[in-house]
Chains A and B, each alone.
Chain A
């Protein structure tokens, strides 16, 4: 049973560029959440997608946007990259009914130079 799959695992960008990160949820899950984890800190909630709609958003600027596809996979887009966007980006999937146990992927490590 495949868990949450994220791609790419590592990437390097320069300031001002744009990046797209991808996530395939665990089989049977219909909800995808994205988190940003800076070095030495706990993950911060970016937003969550359910039924292809953004259901909840954390305290992140509009440069961060996302999308969920009919097969429940998701993308996270970040525009006009800043040095401070360097972080591990984690995708988590869950089933919207039940205890809402999140399954996390291994993350995408973004470095902005």
Chain B
């Protein structure tokens, strides 16, 4: 069974640009979440999607947005990039039939903002 796939794995952008990251969940998983990992802050929750609807949103500015498609694939977008947006962006999927807390993470997209 294929795992969670994130693309691109690495990217470099400059301040002011925008970026779109993609996530393909494990087949059959309908819940997709996004997390930002930075050295100082650990993993911080960005948002969660289920059946194309945003179910939860973390404490991030409106420059961070996301969406989920009917095939459960998800994208997140960051507009007007700032230096502080440099981070590893992790996508996670889950079955979401009963609560287990078990998320399956991708390898992440490493964003560097110059």
Asked whether A and B interact, the reply is no
Chain A contacts to B: CB under 8 angstroms: none
Chain B contacts to A: CB under 8 angstroms: none
